[in-house]
Chain A
Amino acid sequence: MTEVAFFVGAIGAIGGAIAVVAMRNPFYSVLALVVHLVFLAGIFLLLRAQFIAAAQIVVYAGAVMVIYVFVAAYVGGIEEPMFDSSPMLRIVGPILAVALFVEISIAVLGSSLTALGTDGSDKIQGGFGTPEAIGKLMLEDFLIAFEAASLLLLVAAVAAIILAGRKKAQKEAA
């Protein structure tokens, strides 16, 4: 059962990812990413990360993607020209990427870490991945990270306002 779910999720996630890269219209790419994220959330569930999966759907597919869609719509769905201004990159890039994949896979498969060969369920305790558990951790052990993340959001918001907002800046820029 798990295997089937995994492969379905994996194929969906991979397909979504490939579509993101392959779609020539950014608008479609955004939609493909949404698909990818949804399938990925499914895999997260398999990993007993319910809260993360939910957050992924809500925050990402729900909120972030909306911004993407807006921006994509705002700047227009420009289709990329087929020709590449640097064909070398088009060849060398993927070759290197494949090499990277091979290397990581070798490392994973060649690793002597025995736990890798398990599904890890023997160590799982009750309440694993639940919002309570995560929330507790966030407010106890990782309070600083949590605060930092919130400040990061604040800063990012300010940055976004500076860059995209300001009427005055627009006027000056024009």
Chain B
Amino acid sequence: MSAATWGWLVLLFPLLGSLLIGFSFRKIPPKVAGAVGIGAIFLAFLCGIGALIAVQGEPSESRHVASSLWEYASVGGFTIDLGIYVDPLSVFMVLVITGVSTLIHVYSYSYMQSDEGYHRFFSYLNFFVFSMLLLVLAGNFALLIVGWAFVGFASYALISYWYRRETATKAGMKAFVINVIGDIGLVLAAILIFRELGVVDYAAVFEKAPEVFSTNQWEVVAICLLLLVGAFAKSAQMPFHTWLADAMEGPTPVSALIHAATMVTAGVYLVARAHPLFELAPTAADLAAWVGVGTLLVAGTIAIVVTDLKRIIAFSTMSQIGYMFVAVGIGAYSAGMFHLMTHAFFKALLFMAAGSIISAMANRQNIDHMKGFGKAMPFTAVMLIIGALALSGFPGTSGWFSKDEIIDFASFRGGMYEVMAVGMLIGAFLTAIYSFRIIFRILPGKPCDEAQYLIDNGHVVHGEPGNPATGELEDTEVGYPGEEHHIAEQAPGMKIGMAVLGFLALVGGLLQIPGVDEVITKFLEPSFEDSIFVNSHPTVAEAWTGLGSGALISIVGIFTAWLLYVKKPGIPSRLEQRLQPVHSLLVNKWYFDEIIDFLIVNPVKAFGRFSNEIFERYVINGLTSGTVGVIRSAGGAVRDLQSGMLRGYAVLMLFGVVGLLLYFLIRSI
């Protein structure tokens, strides 16, 4: 089978799975639904491997295949095919997505066990995977937008999965609206591409672009900026990042899958995919990189102070995606993709472990209350540590290889990119601190009540059903795992999911050891062979120097964390008091929400109020009632004249006669 056929099959299975589960929710038992969900994704994964084999079987230069089912829409020469584009990059994405998804499905199978909406969950989840695959396989910009928006929709559905929690629905709305803003960016980009090039198919666009555009011509810059709007919105880069932390309202596997491993990396994929355009618009590419740097620093600083376990990891995600943006922005595409992959491993792992702890904490997420889980949940603790090590780039772990490759490339390009490299190093230091902040805060020490309960009873505390964000009590049908929720880390599904990911997070880096194998780079090369950076990259020696400094930073960071949170636990609170303004700036996430409210939301709301209370009432209705009033008062005047007085009538008549005659006399002159 050709790679394209495999590609279609990859799309088919998750969609089928989603529909099957969705339609039969009353008929099949939850376990079957879960199994169907897992199976569908796993089949997609297998087909992805099929595609991989098919692609690798081709000679290097013909490793991209486009395939179209039918003409989707075609107006005035603007033709959109229902087509896919299979090349190493998309196959790589397919594999990462389906692979990680399969594991998360397995994890969810156990984790969501006692939830009321089990079918719904798996149906959504499968639909999400389908959308994500559509996004990466789409053969043109228009279909990309479709996948892009479906992903947004799935994300919305899963964030507000516990739909009777108002915080969840609000978060869903926020995520969706910001995603739509991203969609609009893409729409305009696609339209602009069509206007300039007359096509929207990837292959044709990338072929034509260098012929039509000169470097940094404003059109191509505009296209890239619009693409970046979409990319930033989806990948939670500044200033479109505010939804991501709120998105943690969704179930933890959702956070793992969507808000760590897959969806948020779509922006990175997009830039990588559109690299021929970005290379024609270096300004835009640089902007992407700078925004990446900014985001990774801002998010890193926030992650140090927030206390909500899932939100720490969420900000960390933002930060790591910042790295990826830097990578694709400066031309280190395979490095970016490599980091994307390793990040998927260790971040999904972190979320899973966090989910495990949260379920043990009866859904409470504040790390201030967590203690001693090292003893209570040793397996989870190990996984958490592996994840944290990989995240902070501890030598040998996957994160070490991938992150430092990006930094190397930045220093290699020199100039202002050096500054980026320095920023990224600072970011790496922050990363090490906050990841081990988690470890040091919740694993060691005397177990807290919940942890102790787990140790004593072998199952988790059953707290009051409530909203973790507001503490509001809720009925038991929403978001509450239920009385029978005994899993913590014991369920096999969770263990399998975490174990495989833990393994991958540890050794995944070995795929791309500078000077040794560089599997990823070689595999992706056909996709990036037209890149101007294809033959310029750091030497092996430079790479290893970078890795060395990365290792140093990471270890120093971990040590600092140890100092702060274990050795001298008083320092953080003293710092907090000393640097009160800084702290509140960070705790409030640099006031981004407030600024956006002030700049956009409030004016729109005010406009809405104005329209409703002033404009509609006084202008629209006023115009109507004003006209009516004039007519009515004219009617009143007519009726007042109609006094019933005969002589009055005669006078008016005489008046009419005199008037008419006057007119005629004047005319006759």
Interface membership of A157, Cβ < 8 A: no
Are A92 and B661 interface neighbours, CB within 8 A? Answer: no
Complex: A86 Cα to B645 Cα, angstroms: 9
Asked if A106 CB lies within 8 Å of chain B CBs, one says: yes
| Contacting pair B651 A93 (CB below 8 A) | yes
- Residue A96 is within 8 A (CB to CB) of chain B in the complex: yes
Instruction: Give B523 Cβ to nearest chain A Cβ, in Å.
Output: 103
B665 within 8 A of A: yes
B658: which of A96, A106, A107, A110 is its contact (CB, 8 Å)? A96
- Asked if A89 meets B658 with Cβ closer than 8 Å, knowing A106-B665, A107-B665, the reply is no
Q: How far is the CA of A110 from the CA of B668 in the complex (A)?
A: 10
- Whether A96 contacts B662 by the Cβ 8 Å rule is no
Q: Tell me the A81-100 residues at the B interface (CB within 8 Å).
A: 85-86, 89, 92-93, 96-97, 99-100
Q: In angstroms, how far is the closest chain B Cβ from the Cβ of A98?
A: 10
- Within 8 Å of chain B (Cβ to Cβ): is A104? yes
- Choose among A93, A99, A100, A110 the residue that contacts B647 (Cβ–Cβ < 8 A): A93
When the two chains form the complex, which single residue of A89, A96, A99, A110 contacts B645, counting CB atoms closer than 8 Å?
A89
- A89: contacting residue among B651, B657, B662, B668, CB under 8 A: B651
Nearest-CB distance from A165 to chain B (Å)? 25
CB of B654 within 8 Å of the partner chain: yes
Residues on the A chain within 8 Å of B658, using CB: 96, 99-100, 103
Chain A min CB distance to B654 (Å): 5
Partner of B654, one of A86, A97, A106: A97
Contacts of B650 in A (CB 8 A): 93
Q: Cα distance A102–B651 when bound, in Å? A: 17
The answer to whether A86 and B661 have CB atoms under 8 Å apart is: no
Q: Nearest chain-B residue to A99 (Cβ)?
A: B658
Residues of chain A contacted by B569 (CB below 8 angstroms): none
Q: Which of B638-662 contact A (CB under 8 A)?
A: 645, 647-648, 650-651, 654-655, 657-658, 661-662
Min C-beta distance of A99 to chain B, whole Å: 5
CA distance A86 to B650 in the complex (A): 13
Known contacts A93-B654, A97-B654; A103/B661 CB under 8 A: yes
Q: Which residues of A contact B657 (CB under 8 A)?
A: 100
Alpha-carbon distance between A104 and B654 when the two chains are bound, in angstroms: 13
User: Nearest A residue to B654 by beta-carbon distance?
Assistant: A96
Known: A86-B645, A89-B645. A103 touches B662 (CB 8 A): yes
Quote the shortest CB–CB distance from B366 to chain A (angstroms). Answer: 87
CA distance A106 to B650 in the complex (A): 23
Cα distance, A60 to B418, chains bound together (Å)? 124
Known contacts A86-B645, A89-B645; A104/B661 CB under 8 A? yes
Majority SS at the chain A contact face: helix
Residue-wise, chain A 120-156 has the 8 Å CB interface mask toward B (1 for contact) of 0000000000000000000000000000000000000
Q: Which of B648, B662, B665, B668 contacts A86 (CB 8 A)?
A: B648
Chain B nearest Cβ from A21, distance in angstroms: 13
Which among A96, A104, A110 has the highest number of chain B CB atoms within 10 Å? Answer: A96
On chain B, which size bracket covers the interface? 10 to 19
Roughly how many angstroms separate A160 CA and B650 CA in the complex, as a whole number? 25
A110 and B661 alpha carbons, distance in the complex (Å):
14
Chain B residue at minimum C-beta to C-beta distance from A106? B665
Q: Are B647 and A89 in contact (CB under 8 A)?
A: yes
Compute the total of residue contacts between A and B using a CB distance below 8 Å: 34
Chain B residues whose C-beta falls within 8 Å of the C-beta of A92 in the assembled complex? 651
The B interface, classified by DSSP as helix, strand, loop or mixed, is helix
Residue of A nearest to B656 (CB): A96
Residue ID in chain B nearest A100 by CB atoms? B658
Find chain A residues with CB under 8 A from B651 CB: 89, 92-93, 96
Q: CB-CB < 8 A to A106: which residues of B? A: 665
Determine the chain B residues whose CB is within 8 A of the CB of A96 once the complex forms: 651, 654-655, 658
Residues of chain B with a CB closer than 8 A to A93's CB:
647, 650-651, 654
Min CB distance B583 to A, Å, is: 84
Chain B residues whose CB sits within 8 angstroms of the CB of A85 once the complex forms: 645
Which residues in A have their C-beta under 8 angstroms from that of B648?
86, 89
Beta-carbon nearest neighbor of B657 in chain A:
A100
C-alpha spacing A107/B655, complex, angstroms: 18
Produce 1/0 per residue, B436-458, CB < 8 A to A: 00000000000000000000000
Residues of B within 8 A of A107 (CB): 661, 665, 668
State in angstroms the CA–CA spacing of A85 and B657 once bound together.
Answer: 24
Give the shortest distance, in Å, between A73 (CB) and chain B (any CB): 24
Nearest-neighbour CB distance to chain B for A26, whole angstroms, equals 16
A106 to B668, CA, bound (A): 11
Cβ–Cβ < 8 Å partners of A103 in chain B: 658, 661-662, 665
Mark out the residues of chain A between 15 and 39 whose CB falls within 8 Å of any chain B CB in the assembled complex: none
Give the chain B neighbours of A89 by CB distance below 8 A: 645, 647-648, 651
The smallest beta-carbon distance between A86 and chain B, in angstroms, is: 6
**Smallest CB–CB gap between A15 and chain B, Å?**
23
Residues of B within 8 A of A99 (CB): 658
Chain A residues positioned under 8 Å from B665 (CB to CB): 103, 106-107, 110
Write the nearest CB–CB distance from A83 to chain B, whole angstroms: 14
Q: Which residue of chain A has its CB nearest to the CB of B669?
A: A110
Q: Is the CB of B645 within 8 A of A100?
A: no
* Nearest neighbor of B643 in chain A, beta-carbon distance: A86
Contacts of B668 in A (CB 8 A): 107, 110
In angstroms, Cα B654 to Cα A99, docked, is 10
Give bound CA distance, A62 to B495, whole Å: 131
Scan residues 100-129 of chain B and give those whose CB is less than 8 A from a CB of chain A. none
Inter-chain CA distance A56–B621, complex, in Å, is 66
User: In the bound complex, what is the Cα–Cα distance between A99 and B658 (angstroms)?
Assistant: 7
B663 CB to closest chain A CB (Å) equals 10
**Residues of the B chain whose Cβ atoms lie less than 8 Å from the Cβ of A86:** 645, 647-648
Nearest-Cβ distance from residue B175 to partner chain A, whole angstroms: 75
For B655, the chain A residues whose CB sits under 8 A away are 96
Nearest to B647 among chain A residues (CB) is A89
In the bound complex, CA of A104 to CA of B647 (Å): 22
CB distance from B290 to the nearest CB of A (A): 84
Nearest Cβ on chain A to B661's Cβ, whole angstroms:
4
- In A53-90, the 8 Å CB interface with B consists of 85-86, 89
A86 to B668, CA, bound (A): 36
Q: How far, in angstroms, from A123 to B657 measured CA to CA in the complex? A: 33
Report how far A96 CA is from B657 CA in the complex, Å: 9
Alpha-carbon separation in the docked complex, A89 to B651 (Å): 7
Which residues of chain A are within 8 angstroms of B662 by Cβ–Cβ distance? 103
Task: Please measure, in the bound complex, the distance between the C-alpha atom of A86 and the C-alpha atom of B641, giving whole angstroms.
Answer: 13
B647 contacts which chain A residues (CB < 8 A)? 86, 89, 93
A128 to B328, CA, bound (A): 119
Q: How far is the CA of A97 from the CA of B648 in the complex (A)?
A: 14
Complex: chain B residue closest to A97, CB-CB: B654
Q: Shortest Cβ distance from B315 into chain A, in angstroms? A: 85
Closest CB in chain B relative to A145 CB, distance in Å: 26
CB distance from B152 to the nearest CB of A (A): 76
The answer for the CA separation of A96 and B655 in the assembled complex, in Å, is 7
A81 to B: closest C-beta gap in Å: 14
Q: Which residue of B lies closest to A111 (CB)?
A: B668
Give CA–CA (A110, B665) in the complex, Å: 10
A-B contacts, 20 of them at CB < 8 A, read: A85-B645, A86-B645, A89-B645, A89-B647, A89-B648, A92-B651, A93-B647, A93-B650, A93-B651, A96-B651, A96-B658, A97-B654, A100-B657, A100-B658, A103-B658, A103-B662, A103-B665, A107-B661, A107-B665, A107-B668
6 further A-B contacts with Cβ under 8 Å, apart from A86-B645, A104-B661, A106-B665, are A86-B647, A93-B647, A96-B651, A99-B658, A100-B661, A107-B668
Closest 8 CB pairs of A and B: A103-B661, A96-B654, A99-B658, A89-B647, A93-B651, A100-B658, A96-B658, A89-B651
